[in-house]
Every structure is written in C-alpha cells, then in structure tokens.
C-alpha cells in the first residue's frame, strides 16, 4: 500500500466573530492515530471539517497524501431505501469492494434506513467509511450511540485499519482504548 500522511500547520478556526482555537500543528504517518479531545463546542467538528477540506481554516493549512473519508453525525444514507441498497450506492460511487469490517449489519440489509436505531445507523456509517478504501479516516464522535460491544468493535476496526498502514483521526469526548494513541487537546490551543 502506498504511504499516507496528514499534516496540519498552525491551524486556526473562526466561527462567526469567535476564534475557536489556534496554533494546531501535527503530522501523522501511516499506522498512527490521533485523538482530538476537548469539551463540547471547542471546535472538534470544525477541525474535522477543515481536515476534510469542507471548511476553510482561518489561518494555516492542511496537507494530505491518500484519500480521506469522513464519518460525522450525518450518515448520508437514503433513509427510505433498505440498508443494503443505501450502502451499495456508496460502494458504486467509491468503486469499492465489500467492507472488511462488517459491524454486524448482515441481518439489517433489508431494513429501510429510517427504521434503524441511532447505533445501527452509526454502524452503517462506519461500514460505509471502512468500505470506501480511503487511507485516512476522519471520525467525528464514532462511539456516539454505540453500546459497549459495538464500541469495542469499532475500535478494533480502527486498529485493523492502522495495522494496514492507515491513519485515523478521532474526535471524541469518550476515552478510547487504542494502542499508541496520540492525544491533542484543543483546550491547550485556546486563543
């Protein structure tokens, strides 16, 4: 697999007339994971969207080698379609194979997405992310709505992704059980 890299240089983010954080710099290489920590409203999701190129940084810039995949609070699955079809849409867009991690969705493939619970939708979004084949995973609160069992499975999937040389950035207010996890607390970057 080709190497991948995600680097941030002196990032600052402003929402409205409020500076959320500044001076965020780091560099991640294949196999590494970063935990973005901090209380609600400190700008974890905004930072994720800056990495994803969906939001312009107020200052600084981001460099990445390797495709990005983002999982946030919106699963981007057609709610009226059965889960299997909704996931197949993204598999076709990504021209990807079956997901490596299945997240226990086999029995739900015929169920329309709108009948799924919060946790089941979260698992579906993670399965979409895992199937995309992207090297850099941006996970915004990946454990929200997941019970202990599936929370552990999601973390195991992240470890498997890292073992294959991928990068994971995880914004979460929950503690994570990942090996050699680097932590970036946005509290240390308040303006």
Judged by CB, which is closer to other proteins: 112, or 159? 112
Concatenate the DSSP letters of all residues of 101-149 into one string.
S-TT-GGGTTSBGGGS-HHHHHHHHHHHHHHT--SEEEEESTTTT--HH
> Of 29, 24, 18, whose CA–CA distance to 48 is shortest?
24
Judged by CB, which is closer to other proteins: 37, or 103? 103
Please state the closest distance from residue 49 (CB atom) to other proteins, in A: 8
Please state the closest distance from residue 40 (CB atom) to other proteins, in A: 20
Judged by CB, which is closer to other proteins: 95, or 180? 95
Please state the closest distance from residue 68 (CB atom) to other proteins, in A: 6
> Of 3, 5, 43, 4, whose CA–CA distance to 24 is shortest?
43
Q: Supply 132's token pair.
A: 């995309």
Backbone angles phi, psi at 136, to 5 degrees: -115, 115
- Which chain residues interact with other proteins by CB under 8 A? 49, 52-56, 67-70, 72, 74-81, 89-90, 92-95, 114
Judged by CB, which is closer to other proteins: 76, or 163? 76
Q: Supply 1's token pair.
A: 């697999």
Please state the closest distance from residue 135 (CB atom) to other proteins, in A: 13
């Amino acid at each position: 697999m080709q190497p991948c890299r995600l680097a941030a240089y002196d990032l600052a983010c402003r929402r409205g007339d409020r500076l959320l954080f500044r001076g965020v710099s780091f560099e991640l290489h294949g196999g590494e994971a970063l935990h973005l920590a901090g209380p609600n409203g400190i700008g974890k999701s905004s930072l994720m969207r800056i990495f994803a190129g969906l939001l312009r940084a107020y200052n600084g810039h981001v460099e990445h080698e390797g495709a990005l995949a983002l999982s946030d609070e919106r699963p981007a699955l057609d709610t009226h379609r059965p889960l299997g079809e909704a996931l197949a849409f993204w598999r076709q867009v990504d021209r990807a194979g079956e997901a490596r991690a299945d997240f226990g969705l086999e029995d739900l493939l015929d169920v329309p997405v709108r009948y799924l619970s919060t946790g089941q939708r979260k698992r579906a979004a993670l399965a979409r992310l895992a199937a995309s084949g992207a090297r850099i995973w941006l996970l915004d609160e990946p454990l929200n709505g997941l019970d202990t069992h599936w929370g552990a499975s999601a973390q195991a999937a992240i470890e498997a992704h890292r073992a294959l040389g991928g990068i994971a950035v995880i914004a979460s207010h929950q503690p994570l059980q990942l090996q050699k996890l680097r932590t970036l607390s946005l509290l240390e970057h308040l303006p």
